[in-house]
Amino acid sequence: MKASEVLDNLKRRFPNEPEYHQAVSEVLATIEEAYNEHPEFEKSNLIERLCIPDRIFSFRVTWMDDKGQIQTNMGYRIQHNNAIGPYKGGVRFHASVNLSILKFLAFEQTFKNSLTTLPMGGGKGGSDFSPRGKSNAEIMRFCQAFVLELWRHIGPDTDVPAGDIGVGGREVAYMYGMYKKLARENTGTFTGKGLEFGGSLVRPEATGYGNVYFLLQMLKTRGIELAGKTVCVSGSGNVAQYTVEKLISLGAKVVTMSDSDGYIYDPDGIDRAKLDYIMELKNLYRGRIREYAEQYGCKYVQGARPWGEKCDIAMPSATQNEINGEDAQKLLANGCFAVSEGANMPSTPEAIEAFLKAKILYAPGKAANAGGVSVSGLEMTQNAQKLSWSAEEVDQKLQSIMQNIHEQCVKYGQQPDGYVNYVKGANVAGFMKVAKAMMAQGIL
């Protein structure tokens, strides 16, 4: 089947999965040329095999809330592709979770993991459980109930989950604790664990720091310094917090952060003390970003995203499709010259088109946010060796992985006029490795 026919076919067979179609469509549009250079790929129907997950588990999760009421949620694990290593990818707890979103994330993860240079296949999981407003005890009971079903499908050499939206260190710890009880082993299945029980230093920071390291590589290609630049960041969770931390330490000025209710604009910039306030607010008290504006007397805009504010650089770090075509035009009109994605697929196809047309530096999430899964891969290595590395060692490895990913993007994405299309570069580089591995291993 031709690459262009695959999407129509998927839409017909899997209707009502718009995010999945969107992710597949973006990849297919950019890899067609590379694909056509290898007639053996078409003969073995490689693209279709690469787009459809190896398997999907779905299950009911039953748990008791603090009032003694019995609640049910849906739980899922998508094992997308394990051609280059065990399935690897996070778990998302959010009310919006459905198969379309998890299939897009698992598909993207396969290419991202391929880019990291580490031997990891792609997977993703989650639940439509919303942690918002839940007590610690409810979170624990839900995590345990979730793993009661999930545990039989995962393992250190088969499938290694981690965190994502709504799943941080606390949730990973509850899930891992339950997993160990059921599986009767201590091999470290799950990454993002606490330091006391097999976690890696720099894992919490890795996605945000990695995104800034990738941004630095992009800026270098145009001889631009990061210090002194104004940056709009969205989100205020794990990825956003450590993106802001690294940006501040390198002398950039971050003027926005957000949550699902709205965004704050601080023209003086978020400094270290203000970021500490946000970390405490979000990680300890589970508060709202609005409270930052009350604390520091700055602007808060309810129900909106920060892309109308003037900035040099945008780093979307909240969720998918949070920058639409209109937002992209606003960013460009305000002089934004670089967008580096911490979130997965935060830009709609219209936004991506606008960025590429304007020839700004634009890094898709599967390249720019690959630092998180990379350090997860390093956590797996440390667990297997029963050793732990220093923060400097892990950070050094993270920097060289991000540099390597950047080099791969340039290799496969540089156009004749010199402009680097990082979307194409990341997709083609990620695709070629998985494709070659699948070809070598036969029709499965």
Give residues in contact with ligand NDP (CB under 6 A). 163-166, 168, 207, 235-240, 259-261, 317-319, 342-344, 369, 372
Helix 99-115 crosses helix 371-385 at what angle (to 10 degrees)? 70
Residue 13 to residue 10: CA distance in whole angstroms:
5
Q: Determine how β-strand 55-64 pairs with β-strand 253-259.
A: unpaired
Q: What is the dihedral of CA 300, 319, 354, 51, to 10 degrees?
A: -170
CA distance 436 to 15: 29
Start-end of H helices in 37-93: 39-43, 46-51
Cβ-based neighbours of 152, under 8 Å, separated by 6 or more:
none
Residue closer to ligand NDP by CB (options 41, 322) is 322
**In terms of CB distance, is 6 or 233 closer to ligand NDP?**
233
DSSP calls for 367-417 = HHTTHHHHHHHHHHHHHHHT----HHHHHHHHHHHHHHHHHHHHHHHB-TT
Identity of the residue, 256 or 369, whose beta carbon is nearer to ligand NDP in the bound complex: 369
d(CA 138, CA 134): 6
Residue 260 or 414 having the CB closest to ligand NDP: 260
Which residues sit opposite 249 in a β-bridge? none
- Least CB distance to ligand NDP at residue 312 (A): 22
Please give the Cα distance from 366 to 341 (Å, whole number): 8
Coil, strand or helix at 133: coil
Angle between helices 99-115 and 18-36 (to 10 degrees): 30
Side chain identity at residue 348, one-letter code: T
CB of 225 to ligand NDP, least distance (A): 26
Q: Which one is catalytic: 88, 124, 134, 282?
A: 124
CB 444 to ligand NDP: min, Å: 28
For residue 66, the minimal CB distance to ligand NDP (Å) is: 20
> Nearest distance from residue 37's CB to ligand NDP, in Å?
30
Name the closest residue to ligand NDP (Cβ). Answer: 237
With CA atoms as reference, report the closest residue to 371 among 225, 200, 229, 235.
200
Show the tokens assigned to 151. Answer: 């545990």
- Least distance (Å) from ligand NDP to the CB of residue 374? 10
- Least separation in angstroms between residue 240's CB and ligand NDP is 6
- Centre a 10 Å sphere on the Cβ of residue 273 and count the other Cβ atoms it contains: 8
Nearest by Cα to 305 from 219, 214, 234, 228: 234
Compute the Cα dihedral for 272, 278, 279, 284 and give only its sign: positive
Beta carbon nearer to ligand NDP, 204 or 413: 204
434, 111 Cβ separation under 8 angstroms: yes
Residue whose CB is less far from ligand NDP, 133 or 418: 133
Is the CB of 104 or the CB of 337 nearer to ligand NDP? 104
Residue with tokens 């460009």: 332
- Confirm whether 124 is a catalytic residue: yes
Structure tokens at 84: 């280059």
Neighbouring CB atoms inside 10 A of 33's CB total 10
Indicate the residue type of 72: T
Nearer to ligand NDP, 46 or 254 (CB): 254
Q: How far is the CB of 318 from ligand NDP (least distance, A)?
A: 3
The catalytic residues are 124
